[in-house]
Structure 1
Amino acid sequence: MDNQNDSLWEWSVFWHSNQLHSCMPVNEESDSLAPTWRKFFSNLPAGANILDLGTGNGSLAVQAVAVSHKKHPPFSIHGVDLADIAPAKYVANAEKHLSDVIFHPRTAMEKLPFEANTFDAIGSQFAIEYSTINKSLREACRVLKPGGRLRFLLHANDGILKERCRQQYEQAQTILASELFPITTKLLIALNEAEILNTPQAVKTAESLILSVKQVFDELEQLFSKAEERSLIDNLFTAVRNLLGLRKSYEIQVLTKMNEDIKLLLLAQSKRLQSMQKAALDDTKVTEMAEQLRQLKINNVSLELATTNIGNRSMGYWLSGEKPQTVAEER
C-alpha cells in the first residue's frame, strides 16, 4: 500500500479505495449538494472550461459531467488534487461517470499549472480550506476568465460534518487500539493450519481463537452500542468478517495482507478525519475569505450557510463570486 512517509499518505490511500465522496453520505449528497451544483453548472455556456479544486476522485466533477452531457459542445472539465489520485484506476464505473474529466494528480491549488484567464467556472467542495487559502484564492482568481464564476463549499467549525468526523475519528482510534487486527491474523493462520493439518491440537487452537475474535467484536460492539454515527464501524467490521469467508479463494499470505491493508486504510482514515476537523472554518475565517475575494476584484461575493434538506442542519458555507469582465492588470 502507499508509502506512509508521504505527507499525503492518508489521502492517497483513501482515494485509492473506490471512494467517490469524501465527506457526505450518498443520501445527503444527493438530497442537498447535487441539485445546487448542477444548477451552478447549468448556468454556464456550452463548451465552458471548468476547474475542480481538490477534486479527489471527482465527487464534484461528476456533477459537472452530468450537466455537460446536455451541452453542445460539452464542457472541458479539469480536476486538480495534491494527493496521488487516479480515479480511472480505482473508482467503479469511472469510465461512465468520469471519462470526460482530465485529472491532475500531485497538483497544488497554490500553484496551478494553467494560464491566466483559462476557466469559465471554478468549484471546490470541502477542499480549498485544506490549502494555504490566501495563495489558493489568488491562484483561482488568476486562472478564472473575466466574467467567470467561483463557488466554494467549505467545512463549518460548528457543522454536522465536523461532528461526524470527530465521532468517526474516536471510533477509529478505539478500533486501532484494540486487538481486532492482531487476533484476526492469528485466527486466519490457525484456521489455515487446522484445515491443512487436521489435528486435534490445530483444531482446538482455531476454535479457541474463534472465541477470542468473537469476544473482541463483542467488546467493541458494547463500546459503540450508543453510537449515532455507525458507517465507519459497520463497514470496518463487515470487511474484517468477510476475510474469514474468503479462505477457500485466497492463499493465507494474501488474506493476512488483506487484513493488514484494512488496518492501514483505517489508520489513513483516522489521519484524514483529524485533518478534516482542523480544516473546518468559523465565521471569522470565512468572512476573511470573502473579503480577500473582494480585494482580488471579485464581484458579487456571496457568503451563506449550507444546510441539509433533512432537519435543516448546518453542513458548511457557500462562498461565491464573479470575476468582472475587465480586470486591471496588477502591478
Structure 2
Amino acid sequence: MSNEMQDANPDRRKAWGNYWQQGALHSLPTSYAGNYRGAVADFWASIANTLNADQRVLDIGTGNGSLPFLLHSQLAANCPRIDAIDLADQLAPAWHQALPDEIRGKIAFHTATQAEHLPFADESFDLACSQFGIEYSNLTAALAEVARVLRPQGRLALIMHHAESQLALVAAEELKWANWLSTEGNFLQKARDIYPWLAWVAAGKQAELVDNPEANSARTAFNQAQAEMSQFIESSPIPDLLHDARDMVASHIDAILSGRANAAQANQASLEWQDALKLSAFRQYELIKHALDKASFQHLSGTLDTLGFQIEHAQALTEGDDILIGWSLIASRR
C-alpha cells in the first residue's frame, strides 16, 4: 500500500486548511456544485436510513462537513451525534454555525486530528464513515484505529478515490497545467511584464511606446504566450484551468486600461492567484497519489478482514452507466 504516514505535514495542513477556509463544502466543487449528488448522495442516503438519534457517528477527513451536512439534511432531529475530524487546522463550515444551538451541539468538528491517532475511547461509535478522506492517511494504521473505536456490530462506510476515475483524470490534467503555469517565464509572468506598459497606455502615453524596445519585446513575448495558451486550450480535454488563467489576465488588462487598477495592483493579484494555484496543485497531487487502484482496494479489503470486519459491499461507484467516480465499501465489525 502506497499510503505513507503524514505526521503533522505542514504542506498538507496549509493546503487543505487554506482551501476549507474559502468555504467550499467538499473537495470537488468543479464536479459537484453545492454538496455531492447522484450516485454519491444515493450511497449516503442508504447509510442514513439505518441511523437514529441515539447513535454516534465518526466522519474521517470531513473537510467542511459535507457528510454531516448531508446526514443532518436527511435526518433533521433524528440525526445521530457526529464527531467530524480533519487534518486541516482550520475549517469554515458556515452551514454548521447557522444551525439552532441544540442541533449544532450534536455535531462536533475536531481540527488537526489524524485518522491514525483518533482521540476517542474504545468502542465509542456505531458508524465510521469517510468520503474521499481516509485514503489520504496511512490506511493500515487508520483502519486499525477505526476498528478500535467502533462498537461490536458497528459499521464502516467509505467512498474513496479510484485511480482510474474521472476525478483522478481531471486532477492529472489540472496538475499538468498548474505545473506549466508555475514554470519560469510562464504565461502569467509574461502577462505581468506588460502590465506597466499598459499603465502607460491608460495614462495616454501610447506614442512613447512605439519605439520602446522593452515595451515591444514584452508585447511580442506576451502575444507568443497567448498563442501558445490558445493551442493548449484547443488540445486539452479538460482546459478549465487554462481558461481561468486567461480570463484572469484579461480581467487585469481591462482593469489597468480602464483605470480601475494600477500595474502594481494587477501584479499583486496575479502573484496571489499563482500562490493559490500552487496550493491547488498540491491538492491535485495528493488526490492522484492516494487514489486506489484495484490491487490497493483489494488489499484494503484484506486488511479489514484481518481486523475483524465482515465486508458487505465493495465495488466501483459509477455515475450513470459509464462515469467512474470512486470505490464504495461497507463493512461491519464481527
TM, length-normalised to structure 1: 0.81
CA contact (8 A) 1:162 1:276 kept: yes
- Tell me whether 1:235 sits opposite 2:244 in the alignment: yes
CA contact (8 A) 1:62 1:97 kept: no
Shift of the 228–76 alpha-carbon distance from structure 1 to 2, 3 Å rule, reads: same
SS in 1 for 2:160: strand
Shift of the 214–53 alpha-carbon distance from structure 1 to 2, 3 Å rule, reads: farther
Residue 81 of structure 2: aligned partner: 76
C-alpha distance after superposition, 1:175-195 (max 9, x if no partner): 222522223333444444554
Number of equivalenced pairs: 313
Distance 1:239 1:79 in 2: 36
Q: Deviation at 1:47?
A: 4.3
Residue 35 of structure 1: aligned partner: 42
Distance 1:82 1:228 in 2: 33
Residue 14 of structure 1: aligned partner: 19
Letter of the 1:6 partner, please give it: P
Among candidates 132, 156, 163, match of residue 157 of structure 1: 163
Residue 182 of structure 1: aligned partner: 189
- Tell me whether 1:51 sits opposite 2:58 in the alignment: yes
Q: Deviation at 1:134?
A: 0.7
CA contact (8 A) 1:64 1:77 kept: no
Distance 1:241 1:107 in 2: 41
- Tell me whether 1:320 sits opposite 2:325 in the alignment: no
Q: Which moved more, 1:98-107 or 1:282-291?
A: 98-107
Unpaired stretches in structure 1, ≥5 consecutive residues: 325-331
Shift of the 194–156 alpha-carbon distance from structure 1 to 2, 3 Å rule, reads: same
Distance 2:327 2:99 in 1: 27
Distance 2:208 2:110 in 1: 52
Q: Which moved more, 1:53-62 or 1:219-228?
A: 53-62
Distance 1:150 1:292 in 2: 13
Q: Deviation at 1:280?
A: 1.8
Letter of the 2:84 partner, please give it: G
Distance 1:201 1:106 in 2: 58
Q: Deviation at 1:166?
A: 1.6
Residue 298 of structure 1: aligned partner: 309
Distance 1:78 1:207 in 2: 58
- Tell me whether 1:168 sits opposite 2:174 in the alignment: yes
CA contact (8 A) 1:194 1:202 kept: no
Distance 2:176 2:139 in 1: 28
User: How large is the Cα RMSD of the aligned pairs?
Assistant: 3.1
C-alpha distance after superposition, 1:77-107 (max 9, x if no partner): 332111233224xx6x664589944322211
Residue 292 of structure 2: aligned partner: 281
Distance 2:248 2:127 in 1: 40
Distance 1:198 1:162 in 2: 49
Shift of the 59–236 alpha-carbon distance from structure 1 to 2, 3 Å rule, reads: farther
Distance 2:171 2:124 in 1: 35
Distance 1:145 1:57 in 2: 26
TM, length-normalised to structure 2: 0.80
Shift of the 231–223 alpha-carbon distance from structure 1 to 2, 3 Å rule, reads: closer
Q: Which moved more, 1:235-244 or 1:104-113?
A: 235-244
C-alpha distance after superposition, 1:250-307 (max 9, x if no partner): 6655443321121112122222222221212122221221122222222344311111
Among candidates 92, 99, 102, match of residue 87 of structure 1: 92
Q: Deviation at 1:39?
A: 2.3
Shift of the 123–225 alpha-carbon distance from structure 1 to 2, 3 Å rule, reads: same
- Tell me whether 1:143 sits opposite 2:153 in the alignment: no
Query: What does residue range 201-212 of structure 1 map to in structure 2 within 5 Å?
Result: none
SS in 1 for 2:182: helix
SS in 2 for 1:38: helix
CA contact (8 A) 1:65 1:97 kept: no
